[in-house]
Amino acid sequence: MKWYELSERATLEMTKTEKDTGLTEQDVAARQKEHGLNELDEGEKQSALLLFLEQFKDFMVLVLLAATLISGLLGEYIDAIAIIAIVIINGCLGFYQERRAEKSLHALKELSAPQVMAMRGGEWTKVTSKELVLGDIVKFTSGDRIGADLRIIEAKSLEIEESALTGESLPVAKTTIALKGDDIPLGDQENMAFMGTLVTRGSGIGVVVGTGMNTAMGQIANLLQSAETMITPLQRKLEQLGKILIVVALLLTLLVVVVGVIQGHDLYTMFLAGVSLAVAAIPEGLPAIVTVALSLGVQRMIKQRSIVRKLPAVETLGCASVICSDKTGTMTQNKMTVTHLWAGGTTWTVSGTGYEPKGEFYMEDKKVQPANIKPLQQLLLFGLLCNQTQLIRKEDEYVIDGDPTEAALLVAAMKSGLDDTSAKTQFKLVQEFPFDSTRKMMSVVVEDSYNRRYIITKGAPDVLLLNSKEILWGNKKQALTGTATTEVKSAIDGLASQALRTIAIAFRELAPNEQVRNEQDAERNLTLLGLQGMIDPPRPEVKQAVKECNQAGIKTVMITGDHVITAKAIASQLGILKPGGKVLDGSSLSKMTTEELEEVVDDVYVYARVSPEHKLKIVKALQARGHIVAMTGDGVNDAPAIKAADIGIAMGITGTDVAKEASSLVLLDDNFATIKSAIKEGRNIYENIRKFIRYLLASNVGEILVMLFAMLLALPLPLVPIQILWVNLVTDGLPAMALGLDQPEENVMKRKPRHPKEGVFARGLGWKVISRGFLIGVVTLAAFMIVYDDTPANLEYAQTIAFATLVMAQLIHVFDCRSEKSIFDRNPFENLYLVGAVISSILLMLVVIYYPPLQPIFHTMSIAPREWLIILGLASVPTFLLAGSLLTRKKS
Ligand code: ATP
């Protein structure tokens, strides 16, 4: 089908849809049923069975299974079945963990799936692009990614970048006119927008003419984006560490076996014990638990309104030392209300709050009627005309469709009695040059009933001042020089110093035949009308968040397109601007080299009147000073800086698809305070991972050492293989997972950011692992030796005591792992998952020891009550001996 040949009407007829009302929900459901969802086919998924079998591909597990098989053939049925059962349960656990990690990653992908605006039943509705069907009317604007193949039926300065499809990186200007031609290549189909391409400028409306695999994108299968599966730096370090640990564990196990054989143990027993020990001591589950901890942390972050798009960001968040944040909407509410107006030397104020168009105008406390004051009336009218935003009444509330700054101008005009529709009928819109944050202006061409055409421009006052030649003072035009300029400048500063966002409005009547081809043609030789100043209250929670970041050693920097004085006023209110802190404006920034910026960057707290392009320079300078930078953004031009930052943050509500795609974190509520929560969670996740690494490795060290010491002392095996495997499954597994869910220590946001190069064993973790592991091994062996009296009859009893001591020593030690300082620093009942995991482990241990049918399987015997005193006393030693010594050290 050559959609580009069809007229707008024919396209709408062919797709059975209406431009103004779109499809109904029933149409959509029927079409989805017929054509399926608007998705590209993904590659084959790994089957569940394969994933399950993968759990057993580990070399040592295979050796263990082979050894078990041999012992089964030799008649040791019970042992063989029990070991296989444990290996299978372990595999199931691993399978469950990996599935869970995979599912939550998938859910994340769904959450950050692109959304589009579609006309459904006469209303613009936000839907995910997956839900689009043939005939949907879709609107899009600069920064959006096109969700399906569209025939464009409305285009305003529309340009689309189609490199994903055509390889051409220059954006193509788009129109709505039907094209003639047989085989027009994709790149020349100027009235079409294709799935996956990017709107770089302007806005438009289109009819969906192709979805899913029926799109141009669907036809080039090799371009299908595969989901990025990225591993985090810590996961990479653990992978390397894992390899080292495997070798160490194998060598030590070998040592145990060799010493055991030399001391006279029989080879077969030692072999099975050795393999079990190796399976237990090799932390094969570590990567999976890390993934689960990361993804559970990511789930918690979603609850706190941020979505992690790239997993490594979770770790990097904990290292962030600077947050560069936009002001409008992120630190402030982006609910603008005009409160002050200035024209020709007079200032008026307006009452009223929010978007409700009710309020009075005052001049120095005296109520005035704007309809009677021509300059004021004109300022308000032109603010309404140079405006793409609509005010909608929904029940008792007013909501806006568009930009809050424009909404404020619209509402102010309506407060004076002007009506949006009748004004726009009187002044017909002819052309439009949309706002962009580099130009900091927007313009329209309107035509009145006498066919007179006017340019109306609104934008940042300092920019408009440069583009204006004259000013309307009273009813007369005056050259914009000398005192007039000084007066305007002081009016701008006056409004800005009250933290008001200021917009200037200017105009020019066009000569009858004058052509306006682009914004440069339009935005020159203007006549300045006046200024409108609007409040944008700070978000109430931001001040506290800035303070907490400060305590956490993280500097907050405000980056804004707004006026220097406005930015300064708000930064001071929020506690961002420190005494002596610098404010840098866009024009000084442009003149500086990167090196010059590096010199001062540490002292700058506010960047004002900057363009999105400056953000990249700021990120680079901060990084050159060794900072780990988090940078927010929402527009197309913000994408390079977001990408270059260590943590690129995009706005979930106002952010464009391009910004979101470049980011590693998306704020669902566009709120600065959410960045702080995400950093806190990021720090906590990393600490939790450290906690279970510490727990697991200390446990493994203990398990190996108890066997090694026993062999060196020519003792019998203190633990039988099945006991070792049981410990690996129950005592190591459950509590480690619960540690991954631990709450942060109260000082988590009172420490300096972590150094990104910090190793896994930094801050004394290595010493803690070895010392606690050593003691766990020693006390387990001590318990065994106290009870063991050299008779074979008593061996199983002594082994049961050793087993119980090992389990209890680990379960006490797990609480120590919750704190970097000391076990006494934390309330053990805070983490109920952990309490639950420990209680379950203890119960399972008691079952194995006391339940007669299980005793022969686990080679256990019922322990006499008084022996528990020895077990518990010894089991407490590894944790409390060193905790005590630390405590004394701290006190002294
Ligand atoms: P931030 O970067 O913190 O979000 P910002 O929203 O003020 O700041 P921009 O949107 O780039 O940054 O706006 C820069 C300036 O352009 C504003 O200070 C204002 O004077 C002007 N401006 C903003 N929106 C419009 C608009 N819709 N039309 C005309 N001018 C605008």
Tell me how far apart the alpha carbons of residues 663 and 648 are, in angstroms, rounded to a whole number: 4
Enumerate residues 6+ apart whose C-beta is below 8 A from 870.
783, 786, 787, 801, 805
Average pLDDT, the chain: 88
- Mean pLDDT for the stretch of residues 37-47: 71
Structure tokens at 583: 């404010």
Query: Considering only CA atoms, which residue is closest to atom 5 of ligand 1?
Result: 561
The pLDDT value recorded for residue 396 is 81
Is the beta carbon of 246 within 6 A of some atom in ligand 1? no
Tell me how far apart the alpha carbons of residues 728 and 87 are, in angstroms, rounded to a whole number: 10
Ligand 1: centre distance to CA 352 (Å) = 22
Question: Are the beta carbons of 383 and 420 closer than 8 angstroms?
Answer: no
pLDDT at 886 over 60: no
- Mean pLDDT for the stretch of residues 627-641: 91
Ligand 1: centre distance to CA 365 (Å) = 30
Percent of the chain topping pLDDT 90: 56
Structure tokens at 108: 């994340």
Between 55-64, 491-500, 653-662, 785-794, the lowest mean confidence (pLDDT) is in 55-64
Ligand 1: centre distance to CA 238 (Å) = 46
Query: Considering only CA atoms, which residue is closest to atom 20 of ligand 1?
Result: 460
Which residues are tagged catalytic? 326
Count CB atoms within 10 A of the CB of residue 790: 9
Residue of 324, 330, 562, 653 to test ligand 1 pocket, by largest number of atoms within 8 Å of CB: 562
Is the beta carbon of 670 within 6 A of some atom in ligand 1? no
pLDDT tens-digit profile of 430-440? 999 989 888 99
Is the beta carbon of 259 within 6 A of some atom in ligand 1? no
pLDDT tens-digit profile of 563-584? 999 999 999 999 999 888 899 9
The pLDDT value recorded for residue 416 is 96
Atom of ligand 1 at shortest range from CA of 503: 20
Is the beta carbon of 326 within 6 A of some atom in ligand 1? yes
Is the beta carbon of 538 within 6 A of some atom in ligand 1? no
Is the beta carbon of 500 within 6 A of some atom in ligand 1? no
Tell me how far apart the alpha carbons of residues 652 and 659 are, in angstroms, rounded to a whole number: 10
The pLDDT value recorded for residue 165 is 77
Ligand 1: centre distance to CA 269 (Å) = 77
pLDDT tens-digit profile of 293-323? 887 788 888 888 898 887 788 889 999 999 9
CATH 3.20.20.30 holds for 342-535: no
C-alpha to C-alpha distances, 683 to 316, 647, 748, 761, 785, nearest whole angstrom: 9, 14, 7, 16, 43
List for the chain the helix, strand, coil content (%; round to 5): 50, 20, 30
Is the beta carbon of 463 within 6 A of some atom in ligand 1? no
Q: 159 forms bridges with which residues in the sheet?
A: 173, 201
* CATH homologous superfamily, domain 235-301+679-745+757-891: Calcium-transporting ATPase, transmembrane domain (1.20.1110.10)
The pLDDT value recorded for residue 40 is 75
Name the pLDDT band for 533 (thresholds 50, 70, 90): very high
Q: Domain 3-39+112-223 carries which CATH code?
A: 2.70.150.10
pLDDT at 885 over 60: no
Is-same-fold flag (235-301+679-745+757-891; 306-331+539-670)?
A: no
The pLDDT value recorded for residue 285 is 65
Give the three-class secondary structure for 869. Answer: helix
Q: What is the pTM of this model?
A: 0.82
The pLDDT value recorded for residue 227 is 38
Please classify residue 49 by burial: count the beta carbons closer than 10 Å to its beta carbon, then call 0-12 exposed, 13-18 middle and 19+ buried: exposed
Tell me how far apart the alpha carbons of residues 509 and 466 are, in angstroms, rounded to a whole number: 18
The pLDDT value recorded for residue 70 is 73
In degrees, rounded to 5, the angle at the alpha carbon of residue 379 between the alpha carbons of residues 377 and 381 is 65
Atom of ligand 1 at shortest range from CA of 440: 16
Is the beta carbon of 405 within 6 A of some atom in ligand 1? yes
The residues spanned by each domain of the chain are 3-39+112-223, 235-301+679-745+757-891, 306-331+539-670, 342-535
Residue of 330, 335, 437, 670 to test ligand 1 pocket, by largest number of atoms within 8 Å of CB: 437
* Largest Cα span, the chain: 116
Q: What type of residue sits at position 61? A: V
| Stretch (H or E) spanning 456 | strand 453-459
CA 734, distance to chain mean position in Å, is 29
Ligand 1: centre distance to CA 378 (Å) = 22
Is the beta carbon of 335 within 6 A of some atom in ligand 1? no
The alpha-helical segments, DSSP class H, found in 552-611 are 564-573, 586-591, 594-600
Tell me how far apart the alpha carbons of residues 739 and 697 are, in angstroms, rounded to a whole number: 14
Tell me how far apart the alpha carbons of residues 689 and 392 are, in angstroms, rounded to a whole number: 49
- Mean pLDDT for the stretch of residues 499-503: 94
The phi and psi torsions of 640 (rounded to 5 degrees) equal -60, -40
Query: Considering only CA atoms, which residue is closest to atom 17 of ligand 1?
Result: 562
Ligand 1: centre distance to CA 561 (Å) = 6
Give the three-class secondary structure for 128. Answer: strand
Query: Considering only CA atoms, which residue is closest to atom 6 of ligand 1?
Result: 328
The pLDDT value recorded for residue 207 is 95
pLDDT tens-digit profile of 378-419? 999 999 999 989 998 888 889 898 899 999 999 999 999 999
CATH 3.40.50.300 holds for 306-331+539-670: no
- Mean pLDDT for the stretch of residues 702-727: 90
The pLDDT value recorded for residue 652 is 87
Ligand 1: centre distance to CA 770 (Å) = 58
